[in-house]
Structure 1
Amino acid sequence: MTFQNSNPRPAPDREEFARAAAELLDLVRHLSGPDGCPWDREQSSKTLSPYLVEEAHEIGEAIARGDRPAEREELGDLFFLVVFLAVTLEREEGTKPVDLVRGIIAKMIARHPHVFGERRDLDSQGVLRQWEEGKRREAGRESLLGTSPERLPALLKAYRAQEKAASVGFDWESVDGVLAKLREEVGEVEHAIRSGDGDRVAEEIGDLLFAAVNLARFVKRDPEAHLSAAVEKFRRRFDRVVELLRERGSSPVEAGLPELDRLWEAVKREERG
């Protein structure tokens, strides 16, 4: 592989990493081979796909929690699964793992012409715009927004679509515009509910969620991670409410909404110290 204007220096741990990666490749081939594990041997790229999605989410959750030990462990699991998929693809189609590595190296060089080709001064938005242009050329697509995998979480689909639109200049000038749009969508949901039109309610709720994701994107926050954190906070507080009721020999059903609300506020105050 050659570079026109940039030549990355060899990493100091390059040989150590190469040996460890080779050991992992050997391990996976053994596990999925004739003398290996029956379960591993039965797997296909299709059966392994759900595990890839699961591992990616587990890493994301560890990062969101700031749990470094879990992050390292989950990233190791993902390394294993990626190699497992590569070995499985080799068995199914004959594509060698080394060809996958060389392919991604070539792609990354092609996607970074400002580094490896004719150098240009680009900010992060310019780099993103160049990246999307490269993807469209490679795929032969005309759409600026392209397509998203069907199994991609809806919040992430919305985020990526908005990010791509923003990369070509279709974005709000300030957060005030984003907030105004969010308030507008809340009003439209209220109006749709009063109208009694179920289809319109569904559409407006979708628009409201899309606007909320856009706010998160504009202020550079991950909506998926923060919604997950909000769910965990709700679960933690509600579990505490149930615990307090049990201490009194009661339950949520027996307590009723006014008492649940009172305890909920008490738990919030308790958490805030």
Structure 2
Amino acid sequence: MKEVEKYPDPNRANKLDAFDRLLTIMDQLRNLCPWDKKQTIESIRHLTIEETYELSDAILEGNLEEVKKELGDLMLHMVFYSRMADEQKAFDMADVLNGISDKLIHRHPHIYGDVEADNEKTVLENWEKLKLKEKGNKSVLGGVPTSLPALIKSQRIQEKARGVRFDWDNKEQVWDKVSEELAEFKHEEAEGNKEKATEEFGDLLFSLINYARFIKINPEEALEKTNKKFIKRFQYLESASKRDGKSLSDMTLTEMDEYWNAAKKL
């Protein structure tokens, strides 16, 4: 392995002490706390998923203080899983950390080996090729988790296909595909064929996600920002109309639009 410069970190000792402190606390909780003693790898899975989404929310809101807190929660979960696995003689925290370190070194041969990669595209292509060899997948798409939400899964499918150069040449081609899928969806919807319209709607979404990738927009983030914007405006509509003594159930759409338009100016 090629020798790579180690960059000095004046705070390394503090970071190691902090990690050691967390490991110590985890040992104490696992031995002394009734709740922590009862947990299993399976029982905290749903909590880990929840913490991941809370981290995502903090990132989208640009709240670094909350990002710090949510990272701490997730770090606790990583330590918790490792501690429980250690009790089963499966692996421990050192195995986890050494495993990811070994993987990073192996997948960055342009840093630690003799491979040349002077741009992001080449790095990503090499990464996907190495993953395919490591996992023994028969398909490039074999590494995409089946339980991913559909929108994120589409992103990962397209990224992996790009990793082996199965991709459009330019965004104009992708936009033509979006237009084609939109026309096909509108045709099937007009025909009243719900099954075909559903299929074409899926194709339309897939092509839009593809276009977003080409123009470097994360569709998951874009949609979540729109969700948050809608919630904020709708809650203004609710509170402002209530303050004026009105009930949504008794209001016309035109009346609601007045509050909605006011919310858009906030």
Same fold (TM over 0.5): yes
Report the equivalent of 2:245: 249
Stretches of structure 1 that go unaligned for 5 or more consecutive residues are none
Give the Cα separation in 2 of the matches to 1:100 and 1:248. 58
Report the equivalent of 2:146: 150
Which protein, 1 or 2, shows the higher relative CO under an 8 Å CA cutoff with sep ≥ 6? 1
Q: Displacement of 1:243 after TM fit?
A: 2.4
Give the Cα separation in 1 of the matches to 2:207 and 2:201. 10
Q: Displacement of 1:10 after TM fit?
A: 4.9
| SS of the residue 1:45 aligns to | coil
Give the Cα separation in 2 of the matches to 1:151 and 1:10. 40
Stretches of structure 2 that go unaligned for 5 or more consecutive residues are none
- The aligned length equals 266
8 Å CA contact 2:128–2:164 kept in 1: the answer is no
Instruction: Find 2:202's aligned residue among 175, 182, 206.
Output: 206
Aligned 1:72-87 pairs, distance under 5 A? 72-87=68-83
Instruction: Find 2:118's aligned residue among 108, 116, 122.
Output: 122
| SS of the residue 2:44 aligns to | helix
Change (3 A) 1:139 1:262: same
Matched, 1:133 2:157: no
Q: Note the aligned Cα RMSD (angstroms).
A: 1.8
Normalization by structure 2: what TM-score?
0.93
Report the equivalent of 2:28: 30
Give the Cα separation in 2 of the matches to 1:244 and 1:235. 14
Give the Cα separation in 2 of the matches to 1:109 and 1:145. 23
Give the Cα separation in 1 of the matches to 2:103 and 2:92. 17
Which range moved further: 23-32 or 117-126?
A: 117-126
Instruction: Find 1:105's aligned residue among 95, 101, 112.
Output: 101
Q: Displacement of 1:184 after TM fit?
A: 2.2
Identity of aligned residues (%): 35
Matched, 1:70 2:62: no
Give the Cα separation in 1 of the matches to 2:172 and 2:257. 33
Report the equivalent of 1:92: 88
Normalization by structure 1: what TM-score?
0.90
Which range moved further: 167-176 or 131-140?
A: 167-176
Which range moved further: 216-225 or 22-31?
A: 216-225
Matched, 1:41 2:37: yes
Q: Displacement of 1:131 after TM fit?
A: 0.8
8 Å CA contact 2:117–2:123 kept in 1: the answer is no
| SS of the residue 1:47 aligns to | coil
Show CA shifts across 1:194-233 (max 9, x none).
1222211221121122122212221212221221110111
